[in-house]
Structure 1
C-alpha cells in the first residue's frame, strides 16, 4: 500500500503535486492538514500537536474533519509519530512532501528518520522541488533516474562504507567512503538506469538546480 504525507509547504510545487496525486491517499501532519483541505483533498489520517497553525485554521479543519491533537511536549516529532503509525497500519511505500524547508534541525531530523529502526525497511522518499531523498540498503541496487533530476549523490550514514557505481559519469569500484567526504556529490547518470553496490545503508539524493 502507498500513501503520501504532507508536512508543510505552500509553494507552487506542492500545489502541482496535489493536482497530480489528488486521487491517491494522503495523510496530513500539522499544517499539512490545512493545505490538503484547501486543495480539496480530505486526508485519510491527521497527525500532530497543531501548534504551527492559527486558531482560525484549527476551526477550518474542524469544519471538515475531526482531529485529536497529541501533547506538545512529547519524545517524538509529529512526522515520526505519523510515519511509525502508517507503517504499523501496513503502508509499504510513503512519499513525504514539505519536510525539508524551514528549520534545519527539523530538516535533518526528518532525513534521519529514514534510518529509524521501525521505518528503514519501508520504501520512503522525501521529496521537494529540487530533491528526491531515499535510503539504499546494504546490497546491490538498480537505480532509475527520477524524472527531471540531473544529479545523484550518495552520503554514508555509517563511519565507513564501500561503494561501487556503474552507469554513472563517475563510476567507482569498491571505493571506501567515510564521513565528511564530498567525493560522491553531484554525480550524473550516463543513461536512465545505474547500478549501485554498497556494503552499508547509504543515503541517495537525486536533485536538480
Structure 2
C-alpha cells in the first residue's frame, strides 16, 4: 500500500499515475499549487496543516467540502506540516510514501524536509521526487535497476562506513565517507543495475530522472 503526499516546495511539472496510490494527501500549503495546476481535487483523501491564514483556511474548507476531502487541523507549531502529515500516514498503517514538493523554494525548508525524513526512516519508506531526480535514504544493501546512463549522487548523512558499489563509472571499494570530507556526487551508472552497500551509518542517494547528455 502506497501514499502520495504533496508538500509545499516547488510544484511538480507532471503528476504520477494516481491509480498507483492507495491514499493521496497534501499539506495546506501544497493545496495552493494543486488547485492552480488543476489537480483533480476529488482524488485527495485529506489535507493537513496549521491553516494559519484565515482567508486561505476559508478557501481550503470550501474546496474540501465540495470535493469531500477530509480536513485534519494540526496546529502544533513545534513541528513542520510535513512531519505532522507523516505522523498521520504512519498512524493509518501505511509504510511507503512518495513525496512531491520536498525541494525547491526556500532551501532551509529542503534541508528541514531531509531531516524530517531521516527521523522517520526506520518507520516509513520515503522517496522524494522532483523535476530533476528521485532521492531517498537507502538501506545498507540495495540495488538500483534500469539506471544505465543516469547520474547517481551519494551523500553520507553524516557518514557511511565501508561503502562499496558495482556498476558505476567510479566504483567505491570499501571507503569510509563523511559529508565534511568526501565528495561522492555526479557519478555515472555504466550498467543497467547498480549495487551499493555499506556497513554502518546513513546514506542519501540522488538518481537523476533523465539520462546524462554530456560527459562528466
> Quick one: which of 20, 26, 35 aligns to 2:24?
26
- Residue of structure 1 equivalent to 2:130: 128
Matched position secondary structure for 2:184: coil
- CA drift of 1:17 comes to 1.0
> Distance in 2 between the 1:106 and 1:12 partners?
16
- Residue of structure 1 equivalent to 2:205: 204
In the alignment, is the contact (CA less than 8 A) between 2:161 and 2:177 conserved in 1? yes
- CA drift of 1:96 comes to 0.3
Query: After superposition, where does 1:51-200 map in structure 2 within 5 Å?
Result: 51=52, 54-55=55-56, 57-58=59-60, 59-64=62-67, 65-71=69-75, 74-116=77-119, 118-138=120-140, 140-145=141-146, 150-159=150-159, 161-199=161-199, 200=201
> Distance in 1 between the 2:163 and 2:80 partners?
32
Matched position secondary structure for 2:114: helix
Point out where structure 1 has 5 or more consecutive residues left out of the alignment: none
> Distance in 2 between the 1:121 and 1:146 partners?
27
Q: Which runs of 4+ in 1 moved over 4 A?
A: 9-12, 34-37
Assess, with a 3 A threshold, how the Cα gap between structure 1 residues 88 and 81 changes in structure 2: closer, same or farther: same
* 1:42-83 CA-partner distances (Å, limit 9, x unpaired): 311221113369536334344434524322x52110000111
Assess, with a 3 A threshold, how the Cα gap between structure 1 residues 107 and 23 changes in structure 2: closer, same or farther: same
* 1:154-176 CA-partner distances (Å, limit 9, x unpaired): 11113453210111111011011
Aligned residues: 202
- CA drift of 1:131 comes to 1.7
TM-score normalised by the chain length of structure 2: 0.81
Point out where structure 2 has 5 or more consecutive residues left out of the alignment: none
- CA drift of 1:133 comes to 0.9
